[in-house]
Structure 1
Amino acid sequence: MDHYDPILETIPDVRDGLTRTERIILHVLNEAQKELNGRNVPTVMLYGRVVEYVNISEAELHEYLYRLGVSRN
């Protein structure tokens, strides 16, 4: 049975170096960009979708986005 473990959330995956949270953020961002026909995704929209999968604050999302190299144009 798969269960949530906060320690495992912080360990990067050996395959690509991403944590589960980072992978979720990138997946949700990609899906939202597809829906918006490639346009930029507003951070508030991304945050609303990400928190459906993982419990993080808006400030934490900004930290993840910065670390992932997702920036504003």
Structure 2
Amino acid sequence: MLDTIPDVRDGLTRTERIILYVLSEAQKELGGRSVPSAMVYGRVQEYIDIGEVELRHYLDRLGVREQ
């Protein structure tokens, strides 16, 4: 339940915050290059149980573009 309630500080849910954190860390590792969705999915799975379709939904909502 708490995973779906936005935080009052920035409006992000716990899931969104985890996804952005994982993206940021992976991008640093790759020298600022684009991060493959499969890599994001695998790393997000280490924190939370999320399906591929649900992750894609979050990425779209956060404005993450596929290349």
Q: TM-score, normalised by structure 1?
A: 0.89
Give the structure-2-normalised TM-score.
0.97
What residue is the counterpart of 1:33 in the other structure? 27
Q: How does 1:1-73 map to 2 (within 5 A)?
A: 7-73=1-67
* Identical amino acids, percent of aligned pairs: 70
Please, what is the CA RMSD of the aligned residues? 0.6
**Structure having greater relative contact order (Cα 8 Å, sep ≥ 6):** 2
Write out the 4+ residue segments of structure 1 that deviate beyond 3 Å after TM superposition.
none
Deviations 1:10-62 (A, max 9, x none): 00000000000000000000000000000000000100000000100011100
Aligned pairs, number: 67
Question: Gapped runs of 5+ residues in structure 1?
Answer: 1-6
SS at match of 1:69: coil
Structure (1 or 2) with the larger CA radius of gyration: 1
Amino acid at match of 1:51: Q
